[in-house]
Amino acid sequence: MSHSNQELAAASNEVFMGTYARYPAAMVSGQGCCLTDADGRQYLDFLSGISVCSLGHCHPEVTRTIQEQAARLVHVSNLYYTEPQTELAQLLVANSFADKVFLANSGAEVNEAAIKLARIAAGPGRYQIISLTGSFHGRTLATVAATGQPKFHQGFEPMPEGFIHAPFGDLSAIEALINETTCAILCEPVQGEGGVRPLPADYLLGLRALCDQHQLFLIMDEIQTGMGRTGTLFAHEQMGVTPDIMTLAKALGSGLPIGAMLATKEIAAAFTPGTHGSTFGGNPVAAAAAVTTLKIMLADGFLPQVKIQARYLEERLQELAGRFPRLLSGVRGLGLIQGLVLTEAGVAVGGAMVKRMFEKGCLINFAGNAVLRFLPPLIVSQEEIDQFADIMGQVLSEF
């Protein structure tokens, strides 16, 4: 029995808590960079489920893996070993700085795990974590406290203690905050929700130096930037900086909920049986999907192709910025996480432009009250980039 967009929206609004301002479309199927709603309307997806469906929707190899694993074994708990999660952890270790892996179900959960690991590994009395203004690290109380945007704190006070925010891009301000209770600095290589703001390479090098100087852990939140989004498997690889702890989620399972927290063996040794856990973490189906996802991304030619498409997208965006200076002040991003930076006049109509893009069949979003954010699947074609840029140009013309 099929329902229309309107019927599904009305039924959902009856039973769901009002935590989302949803668009009036119920998505029923997807293929590659295209989504189809309950009324049969198609959309060019330049949001990828917020950086999740990086291989596009329903990638045939990932879909086959999920079907085969679901027919074999869905869940046993982490009291036992399973093949998919072992293979996933081996792949992650082989292709990163890390020696050890912890698996959970989401970005917020692995950021929580990173916070707990940093505190227990640093030892008694060392608990403070410094993060940056404009950051976003999750929706649990601890990760909200770590998030450097006051709007996410409102109504949930008092925040858990031990989190402090330093002004974005100011190394001396971070140094001034370090004291005997500090255990770690937490940052995203590119702030996503904060408005697609890449951290300059020299700033990241400065953070690494501060951590080395004061015996702090550098935690890199690569939940949005990891898994090939920037043209390398992890964004920090392009910046000449290696973290001590890294978190991944979003694109790791091609749409299935899975997150990973990675660390060196010296730090990971602080997690012993009973210190942390997750009932569903590394679930066989999600882990199997992640194994296939990683293998596809690591195959010859995949990541170089992402860089080629990223350059092309950036060129098309620069062209738009040049054509509409009243609304746009420039372009920023890294790889296939890109943003059109809005002027004051552009910010005033940012939400309306996203809505108009939706009406014209193209999905994007408004991030950090500052940029129009674009996160196309990594398999996007130049034709699809052209299609997107043409629609974006039409919408900018209207405004």
Residue 289 has pLDDT above 90, yes or no: yes
Task: Collect all residues with Cβ–Cβ distance below 8 Å to 91 and sequence separation of at least 6.
Answer: 291, 294, 295, 298
In this predicted model, what pLDDT tens digit does every residue of 155-169 receive, in sequence order? Answer: 999 999 999 999 998
- Residues present in the chain in total: 399
Could you tell me what percent of the chain has a pLDDT over 90? 98
Residue 1 has pLDDT above 70, yes or no: no
Measure Cα distances from 250 to 37, 286, 398 in Å.
Answer: 22, 12, 34
The model's confidence at residue 102, banded by pLDDT at 50, 70 and 90, is very high
What one-character DSSP code corresponds to residue 230? T
Question: Which residues of the chain form CATH 3.40.640.10?
Answer: 73-298
Pick the CATH number of 73-298 from 3.40.640.10, 1.10.357.10, 3.30.200.20, 3.40.50.720: 3.40.640.10
Place of tokens 């498409």: 309
Helix, strand, coil tally for the chain in percent (to 5): 40, 20, 40
Residue 374 has pLDDT above 70, yes or no: yes
Contact 284, 69 (CB under 8 A): yes
Contact 261, 96 (CB under 8 A): no
In this predicted model, what pLDDT tens digit does every residue of 141-155 receive, in sequence order? Answer: 999 999 999 999 999
Q: Distance between CA 326 and CA 344 in Å, rounded?
A: 9
Can you name the residues that pair with 182 across neighbouring β-strands? 128
Predicted confidence at residue 253, as pLDDT, reads 97
Predicted confidence at residue 2, as pLDDT, reads 80
Judge residue 380's burial from the number of C-beta atoms within 10 Å of its C-beta, 0-12 exposed, 13-18 middle, 19 or more buried: buried
Question: Which residues of the chain form CATH 3.90.1150.10?
Answer: 5-58+301-398
Q: Which amino acid is at 305?
A: Q
In this predicted model, what pLDDT tens digit does every residue of 251-286 receive, in sequence order? Answer: 999 999 999 999 999 999 999 999 999 999 999 999
Contact 175, 214 (CB under 8 A): no
- For 56, the token pair is 């596009």
Q: Distance between CA 247 and CA 260 in Å, rounded?
A: 6
Structurally, what CATH architecture does the domain formed by 5-58+301-398 represent? Alpha-Beta Complex (3.90)
Q: State the average pLDDT over residues 9-26.
A: 93
